[in-house]
Structure 1
Amino acid sequence: MALDLGTARTRSLAVGGPAIADRPSTIVRRSSTSSGRDVVQPIRHGMVADPGACLRLVRMAVQDTLHYDPRPLEQVLAGVPVAASPSDRRAVRAAVAEIAGCEVWLVEEPLAAAVGVGLDVINPQPCLLLDVGAGIVEAVAIKQGAVTDAVALQFSATTSMGLTAHTLENVVDMTAGLLRRLPATSRRATRARGVVVTGGGAHQELLLRRLRATLRLPVSAAPQPQHATVRGLMRLCLQPDLAAGLALSAR
């Protein structure tokens, strides 16, 4: 099973499943201060903020996939941000392992997204990817199966059109900074390949235009960019040797 726990949406897919299960990353529970109910966000900035609510969210995601394939799970590949701390990663692994009852491998989400959109992540020349989620944006350079450089921006304010103007400019600036740090020997080849944008924020045309104008290189939104990470995780489920090479070492 592939599992993408996002700040706004959680997506899952079982091997052989007919479609990606996509649900809001919210939990409704009884209020501790009144007779009403609270809406809780278990995931913030792509990381576990409420372990108890996260367990419920993972349980619902697993149930979504088992609806199509009731066989017991043997392995789950789950995404985590590059910026996730060791404790953040342990929290994801613990929640998924408790509910799924099987081995859990963690893969950095931009790396999974790169696999999901078909980038050659094993190439010795870096490729650039910008993953724009609801609570965290990560710009990464990937080569030889690993994220070799990364910058991240966490935020909470969005509009109906996507990133706020201030956040959007910060994303453009941090991506430009990542580009400037590329080794001189590979900069030209990497610039020629351009930047691929994934995540729901890739639908924001203004962001794409500002990136092109500032970086002066090709910038393209991936097809169905919001599903890039879960698609990449599923491709890795089907290629266990590659998954073993890309997964974070602490399992």
Structure 2
Amino acid sequence: MIFNRLLGLFSNDLAIDLGTATTLVYVKGEGIVCSEPSAVAVHRDSRGAKKVLAVGLEAKRMIGRTPGNIVAIRPIKDGVIADFEVTEAMLRYFIRKAHKHRTLVRPRIIICVPWGCTEVERRAVRESAQSAGAREVYLIEEPLAAAIGAGLPITEPSGNMIVDIGGGTTEVAVISLGGIVKSHSVRVAGDKMDEAILQYVKRKYNLLIGDMTAEYIKVTIGNAFPGFEDSVEVKGLDMVSGVPKALTLHADEVREALSETVRVIVDAVKGVFEETPPELAGDIYDRGIVLAGGGSLLRSLDLLLREETGLPVSVAEDPLSCVVLGSGKALDELDLLRQVALR
């Protein structure tokens, strides 16, 4: 114990939100020091061996623009590790970037994992972090971290509902006394929204657009409830003529494109309510639902959920950073860490 405290003098503890779309790193005593895409550019030689060329923002810029022997990939799929080797390289990059001034001792790290991930998936995260340079690894479930980051009183004997809409998964959880009472995770979130827009444009206009264009459309005019009117110019490849083409896409079209994806999220929220104990349901009726994660920034999603549930719905103050801020708070409060960390 004393030895670990001495090590802490030379090492910065880190909290990492290893997201499907974005990785955020929190350093104890400093706050969030890094927020970059969870992307890695890899060169494959003729024997199939991989060499990492770029990580983060630089790698994301390469997606869809690389020659055949270079691939830009996202090693986290639906919130869990899809490529162990590449994830390890990505984690090493982020740890070194956050830990650059303290190289004597390896850091202690908290990493967020989706609710309900398997023991095998948890072990993969632990081993990746240890191989990337962690001294100790703690895991915390994302809904708990998001609720802490959103400022919800999760350690009290009362019900709190958090809806964390990330890149790969949406996690709906009812939390009380520092634990998850009821939760449901669906592999529908920001990425599926992008894909829905991409397929809609392809189907309706015979226009091929890339993932980054679809994301731009979502951020610019994406919406979930009638009342928002705007448009954006979209450029892509005409599937009929085979040449580049531009067209104007309207907000109501994007709402239509996203309707099925958004419906899955709404149904997940309702499904958790149906299984929530009555006393906790009463607490949530008073306090309402809190939305977190990048997907919660979809325009008027809170209005749609309010309409569907009849409850107050609010978006967390800093929805993109809730998970890593909650993990960072657990780093600062050891009693809280012991209560929420996975055994």
Tell me the TM-score normalized by structure 1.
0.93
The more displaced of 178-187 and 143-152 is 178-187
Partner of 1:112: 145
Other structure's SS at 1:100 match: coil
- Runs ≥4 residues deviating over 4 A: 32-35, 68-71
Name the CA distance, whole Å, in 2 between partners of 1:18 and 1:181: 37
Alignment of 1:128-207 (within 5 A): 128-155=161-188, 156-159=191-194, 160=215, 161=218, 164-207=258-301
- Count of residues in correspondence between the two structures: 249
The more displaced of 142-151 and 182-191 is 182-191
The more displaced of 25-34 and 91-100 is 25-34
The more displaced of 165-174 and 15-24 is 15-24
The more displaced of 154-163 and 211-220 is 154-163
What is the RMSD computed on CA atoms of the aligned residues? 1.8
Partner of 2:121: 88
Other structure's SS at 1:167 match: helix
- Unaligned segments of structure 2, at least 5 residues: 1-13, 47-66, 195-214, 225-257
* Contact 1:131-1:137 at 8 Å conserved across structures: yes
Name the CA distance, whole Å, in 2 between partners of 1:184 and 1:110: 21
Q: 1:237 to 1:66 in 2, by over 3 A?
A: same
Q: How much has 1:221 moved relative to structure 2? A: 0.5
* Contact 2:142-2:323 at 8 Å conserved across structures: yes
* Contact 1:123-1:143 at 8 Å conserved across structures: yes
Name the CA distance, whole Å, in 1 between partners of 2:30 and 2:106: 13
The reply on whether 1:12 has 2:25 as its aligned counterpart is yes
The more displaced of 18-27 and 168-177 is 18-27
* Contact 2:160-2:283 at 8 Å conserved across structures: no
Q: Give the AA of the match of 1:181.
A: E
The reply on whether 1:25 has 2:25 as its aligned counterpart is no
Q: Give the AA of the match of 2:40.
A: I
Q: How much has 1:185 moved relative to structure 2? A: 2.8
| Match of residue 91, structure 2, among 33, 58, 71 | 58
The reply on whether 1:3 has 2:38 as its aligned counterpart is no
Give identity over the alignment, percent: 28
Name the CA distance, whole Å, in 2 between partners of 1:209 and 1:157: 20
* Contact 2:24-2:32 at 8 Å conserved across structures: no
Q: 1:19 to 1:247 in 2, by over 3 A?
A: closer
- Unaligned segments of structure 1, at least 5 residues: none
Larger of the two Rg values belongs to structure: 2
The more displaced of 203-212 and 71-80 is 71-80
Other structure's SS at 2:320 match: helix
Partner of 1:239: 333
Other structure's SS at 1:130 match: strand
The more displaced of 116-125 and 151-160 is 151-160
Tell me the TM-score normalized by structure 2.
0.69
* Contact 1:17-1:68 at 8 Å conserved across structures: no
Q: How much has 1:69 moved relative to structure 2? A: 5.0
Other structure's SS at 2:180 match: strand
The more displaced of 227-236 and 156-165 is 156-165
Name the CA distance, whole Å, in 1 between partners of 2:68 and 2:172: 44
Per-residue CA deviation, residues 162-189 of structure 1 (Å, 9 max, x unaligned), is: 6932111110011011112221233222
Name the CA distance, whole Å, in 2 between partners of 1:134 and 1:89: 19
Name the CA distance, whole Å, in 2 between partners of 1:154 and 1:170: 9
Q: Give the AA of the match of 1:151.
A: H
Q: 1:68 to 1:120 in 2, by over 3 A?
A: farther
* Contact 1:17-1:65 at 8 Å conserved across structures: no
Q: Give the AA of the match of 2:271.
A: G
Q: Give the AA of the match of 1:171.
A: I
* Contact 1:18-1:68 at 8 Å conserved across structures: no
